[in-house]
Amino acid sequence: MSKITFHSSYKGSKSKNSYQISVDGKVNNKKEQILYTAKSIDELEYYKNVFKGRYKKILLYEYSEKVGSKTYHDTSIVVKY
């Protein structure tokens, strides 16, 4: 991981906050970025502390899932202690 950015924004049309974590790094010598959407400011704070803390490994996954004719992009963060 070369850069981790924490985002918070407000969507006025939905009267809703959005919390995201952006992780930039290299996978097989190719630059990649994964964007993870947190459910709350507490979850965003949790991951901020995780990335600062002592862990053995952090795995990031991004994959696509097709439901009917629509494709959804899913992300996961796995923390190993």
Strand 70-80 relative to strand 57-67, pairing: antiparallel
- The structure tokens 């939905």 sit at 14
> For residue 62, what pLDDT is reported?
85
Predicted TM-score (pTM) of this structure: 0.72
The count of other CB atoms within 10 Å of the CB of residue 44 is 19
Enter the tokens of residue 61: 């996954």
> For residue 6, what pLDDT is reported?
92
| Residues of the chain under the 50 pLDDT cut | none
> For residue 1, what pLDDT is reported?
65
